Amino acid sequence: MTSTPAPPAGRREVRDGTSYVAFTRTFRAPVTDVWAAVTEPERLARWIGTWTGDPASGEVAFRMTAEGEDVAEETYRIDACEPPRRLVVRTSVGDDGGEWQLELDLAESEGVTTLTFAQVMADPDVAESVGPGWDYYLDRLVVAEAGRDVAEVVWDDYYPARSGFYRAAFS
């Protein structure tokens, strides 16, 4: 185990009347490099998972490899792809047919790229696990992009420790 991670980084945002859980991370790198880290299958594999398929078709199959070998592929529909600045995708989750909408925005200023990641979120029950999950994965992205071992980011430091914070933010 490493040192205790920073406090929860997510926040509740309301955009056009819709509730989101949003996260920000910064990188001392050009926007094109950060875009590659979040969109290229080989770079994604370092911190979360990988995808296959043809994005031009409007869909890809994503597999979250960071959670072990037993995780099934999920189809992600690409709603917006504006390299190297914006990506919006949707996927159905679970047997109940729920849907996740994920939004990624990048902005560069003076050699620093700011990544803002958001997921539509209204349900406190979902927020209490999804919030810590995105904190964890985005911290793995930061560590991977710094050239360090993502194993230093330990899931048990995030969940259930941060669950109460996210539940309260969406209650």
Asked if residue 12 belongs to a domain, the reply is no
**Is residue 94 in some structural domain?**
yes
Mind listing the pLDDT tens digit for each residue in 67-121?
777 778 999 999 999 999 999 999 988 666 589 999 999 999 999 999 999 999 9
Round to the nearest angstrom and report the end-to-end CA distance of the chain. Answer: 31
How many domains in the chain? 1
pLDDT digits (tens, 9 = 90+) for 34-58: 999 999 999 999 999 999 999 999 9
Is residue 165 within 8 A of residue 11, CB to CB? The reply is: no
**Is residue 157, in this structure, part of any structural domain at all?**
yes
Decide if 140 is inside a domain: yes
Contact 111, 122 (CB under 8 A): no
Q: What is the CATH number for 146?
A: 3.30.530.20
In a domain, 90, yes or no: yes
Q: What is the pTM of this model?
A: 0.93
- 10 Å Cβ neighbour count for 121? 24
What does residue 153 show for φ and ψ, rounded to 5 degrees? -95, 115
Q: Is residue 134 in some structural domain? A: yes
Domain containing 156: what range? 17-169
